[in-house]
Structures are given as C-alpha cells and as structure tokens.
C-alpha cells in the first residue's frame, strides 16, 4: 500500500510539474438545487466539461494563470466568473437565475412571426461573417434565436435562450456560443456583440484534418489573436505587422454628421421601398437647409483627411513588464497593417462594392468595362484601433484580451466573426 501511495504521489507531482491545474465547483439554480449537465468552460477555448448529477464539476485547465469561466444551462442566464487560477483554492459556486419572461416572449414571438426568415441572413452576415469560411458555417439551432427591431433607431437586437450551435466545416469546429448581447445598427451596419465560445473538434479523416489545419493557419495569420501574441512577445515586425499612429482631424464631428445624414437617407430609402436610391439622395439633401447641407458636406469630407506617423515600436503602444508587453496603451488611434498577405477577395469586394456595382460600359474597342478600369489594387489588410475609454487593455500570452474598451474599424471589424474564430489554445504548427 505504501508503494502504491508513493507512486500515486509521484504521478500527481509530475502532472503538477507539467503545468496541469484543475478547478472544482458546483452549479445550482436560484433555489439552491443542483443543475446536472450544465456546461462549464473556459471562454474561447476547447476546455470544457458538464456537471454531474449533483451539479458538481472538475475542470482540467492546463497552465493558465487567469481565465473567464462560463456556465450555461438551457432556460437560465449565462454566468461568468473571472478566475485567478493560482489564487483559487476553494469550491467555485455558480447560482444561475432563470431567463426573464420578457426574453422567453421574444423567442416565442419570433418563432410565431417566422422572424428568422426576415432577419436570419442579416444576423448571420453580421455574426458569422462574410468571409469564404462563413459559407461553410451553419447555425444548428435557429429556433433558439429571437429578434427585436427598433424602427426609431434602426437597431436590430438578437437574443437566445440557450447556447447557439455553429458548425464550421472549413475550420473543423463545432462552436457552442453563449450570446450575451447582439446589437446591429442597420443604417451603417455597425455591429456590437458579446459572446463566449467553446470549441469542439470535428472528426475527420487525415486528408480532412490536413485541410482544416491549412485553413486554420490562414485564419490565424489574418487574426487579431496573431497580432496580440506578436505584440506580447515584442515581435511585431518579425510576424509581419506594421503599426502607425492614426489621426483624422475633425473625425468625431464627421461621424456625428454622417449618422444624422444616414438616418435621414434611410428614412427616404425605406419610404421609396428601395426602388429609387437617386431620388432618396435628392430628397435627403432637400430636407436640410442650404447652409446646413454645405456644413455637412464639408464635415463629411474630413473623414478622408488621414495623417499617419512613421512605423511605431511595441513600446510606443503597449506597457512592458518582465520583458513582455502586457497591455495596450496609446493615444488617439493606431493603424495596424499585416504585410505578409493581401486582403482576401471577399473583403476586397466588400470594400469596393460601390465600384463593383457600377454599370459595365464598353470603352471604344478595348472590350474592357469601366468598372474594371477604376478598380483599385488589393491592399495589405489594415485596421484602425481605438481605446474607447482611454483605459489600457490587458494582453495575454495566448492572445486573449478583454476587448470591451477596444474599438475596431476596418479589416478586423469585418474579419473577426464566428467563421474565423480560433480557440486561444490553438497553435499553428
């Protein structure tokens, strides 16, 4: 028996030495009753488990210092706890609250009105994305999602009473997504959503797994996670990133004006049932007096007045501690460009949609269409980043951040969707 105990001790010690750690906890409802088969997982990872019949769980998490621990259960509100793993030595308790009657009513009403038929594509375009990978994604439980639309603010909101299941055939994952918030401003397609992801590997033969790995590498190369890891390790240039300070004089006023103008334009476009966009523009301009319209056009023109600095170093945009860059911190805005790959075809088409919609006109005897002549060359993908509250954003070695205070405009605003998501324990080999 003593030899056996010594062997067990050596195995446990060896596992601990290799960085394996575990969290213990219990999940109960508002009455203190255990919830069996509740989902417990580390956000944005493949690390997850379910509770047993007594509501208890043991989660093996590996060498992680901090994490967001998520618990979800059908019919209950998702709960999140920020865990400092090294300091956590007690039983973690989650007490879930039932979803509100109002939320249940939204889902029931959406099903009754067949809202998915009306809003489903708009939602998936904004949530899953428009990349080539998005074409191979499917939402498996559409009936769990409900919508509300505010015509006064042109705002679409989506809700779910259970985790959303998305199958990604191109990257080889089944994603379980606990949706916290989804808001889409339909006037300018500005979307803001928050969700927590658990990844599960799909099964496939060796050829399929090789294809998945190739696709994952491409998704990773273009990802924000790649940038964060490169910055954390001070290897921006080596990994292909160029960062410049970005200033647009008068941008705030220009964006305020654009929002007013776009709302007015959307009103007239809707009233004409989208049948005459040219007339909608004329009616919009006539609705403003001459001086106001002149001021608006001047302000809107300032959006294109961009000033970029010389390339910046990691220390110019991040806080350094123990040889690592542990938090984003910069003034105004920065522009991040990935220099190793040109923008994907889908994003190029998205950026140049107006030119692509130009009617083709043959020019003399060249047989070349006008829109082919004016189409710009492909760029390296670039994104503008802004700290919305001037609060530093903590970085991690895994590439994970809490991006509540970080605003993205440009490529990553388009690319960073469900279809291109990778778990934060992914490493390209």
| pLDDT tens by residue, 343-375 | 999 999 988 875 555 433 333 444 444 444 456
**Helix (H) or strand (E) run with residue 17 in it:** helix 2-17
Least confident of 127-136, 200-209, 402-411: 402-411
pLDDT at 405: 81
Cβ partners under 8 Å of residue 367, min gap 6: none
**Better-predicted residue by pLDDT, 288 or 16:** 288
Average pLDDT over residues 134-139: 97
Phi and psi angles of residue 211, each rounded to the nearest 5 degrees, phi first: -65, -45
**Better-predicted residue by pLDDT, 253 or 267:** 267
pLDDT at 265: 83
- For the CA atoms of the chain, what is the radius of gyration? 25
Q: Is 296 exposed, middle or buried (0-12, 13-18, 19+ CB in 10 A)?
A: middle
How far is the C-alpha of 265 from the C-alpha of 244, rounded, in Å?
34
Query: And the tokens for 357?
Result: 């919609």
How far is the C-alpha of 159 from the C-alpha of 135, rounded, in Å?
23
Please write the tens of the pLDDT for every residue from 334-343.
999 999 999 9
Please write the tens of the pLDDT for every residue from 226-236.
999 999 999 99
Given a cut of 50, whether residue 406 has pLDDT beyond it is yes
**Portion of the chain with pLDDT greater than 90, in percent:** 58
Backbone φ/ψ region at 19: left (φ over 0), alpha (ψ -120 to 50), beta = left
pLDDT at 239: 97
Given a cut of 70, whether residue 97 has pLDDT beyond it is yes
pLDDT at 80: 94
Pairing of strands 92-95, 22-28: parallel
Average pLDDT over residues 284-296: 81
pLDDT at 341: 95
Phi and psi angles of residue 212, each rounded to the nearest 5 degrees, phi first: -60, -45
pLDDT band at 174 (very low <50, low <70, confident <90, very high): very high
pLDDT at 302: 60
């Amino acid at each position: 028996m003593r030899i056996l105990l010594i062997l067990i001790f050596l195995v446990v010690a060896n596992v601990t030495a290799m960085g394996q750690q575990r969290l213990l906890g219990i999940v109960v409802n508002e009455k203190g009753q255990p919830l069996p088969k509740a989902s417990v997982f580390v956000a944005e990872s493949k690390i997850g488990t379910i509770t047993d019949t007594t509501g208890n769980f043991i989660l093996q998490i590996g060498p992680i210092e901090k994490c967001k621990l998520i618990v979800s259960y059908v019919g209950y509100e998702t709960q999140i706890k920020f865990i400092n793993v090294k300091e956590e030595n007690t039983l973690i308790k989650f007490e879930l609250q039932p979803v509100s009657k109002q939320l249940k009513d939204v889902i029931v009403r959406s099903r009754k009105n067949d809202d998915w038929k009306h809003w489903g594509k708009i939602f998936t375009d904004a949530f899953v994305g428009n990349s080539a990978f998005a074409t191979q994604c499917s939402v498996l439980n559409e009936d769990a999602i409900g919508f509300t639309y505010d015509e006064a603010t042109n705002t679409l909101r989506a809700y779910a009473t259970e985790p959303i299941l998305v199958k990604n055939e191109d990257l080889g994952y089944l994603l379980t997504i606990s949706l916290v918030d989804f808001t889409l401003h339909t006037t300018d397609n500005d979307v803001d959503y928050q969700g927590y992801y658990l990844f599960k590997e799909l099964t496939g033969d060796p050829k399929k797994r090789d294809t998945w790995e190739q696709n994952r590498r491409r998704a990773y190369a273009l990802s924000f996670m790649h940038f964060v890891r490169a910055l954390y390790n001070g290897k921006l240039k080596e990994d292909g990133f160029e960062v410049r300070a970005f200033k647009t004089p008068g941008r705030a006023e220009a964006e305020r004006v654009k929002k007013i103008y776009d709302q007015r334009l959307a009103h007239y476009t809707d009233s004409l049932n989208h049948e005459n966009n040219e007339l909608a523009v004329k009616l919009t301009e006539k609705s403003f007096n001459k001086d106001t319209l002149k001021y608006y056009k001047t302000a809107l023109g300032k959006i294109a007045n961009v000033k970029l600095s010389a390339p910046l170093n990691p220390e110019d945009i991040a806080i350094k501690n123990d040889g690592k860059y542990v938090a984003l911190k910069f003034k105004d805005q920065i522009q991040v460009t990935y220099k190793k790959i040109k923008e994907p075809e889908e994003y190029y088409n998205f950026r140049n949609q107006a030119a692509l919609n130009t009617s083709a006109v043959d020019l003399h005897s060249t047989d070349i269409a006008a829109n082919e002549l004016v189409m710009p060359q492909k760029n390296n993908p670039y994104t503008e980043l802004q700290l919305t509250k001037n609060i530093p954003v903590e970085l991690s070695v895994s590439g994970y951040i809490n991006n509540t205070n970080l605003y993205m405009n440009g490529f990553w605003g388009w690319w960073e969707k469900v279809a291109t998501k990778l778990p934060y324990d992914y490493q390209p080999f």
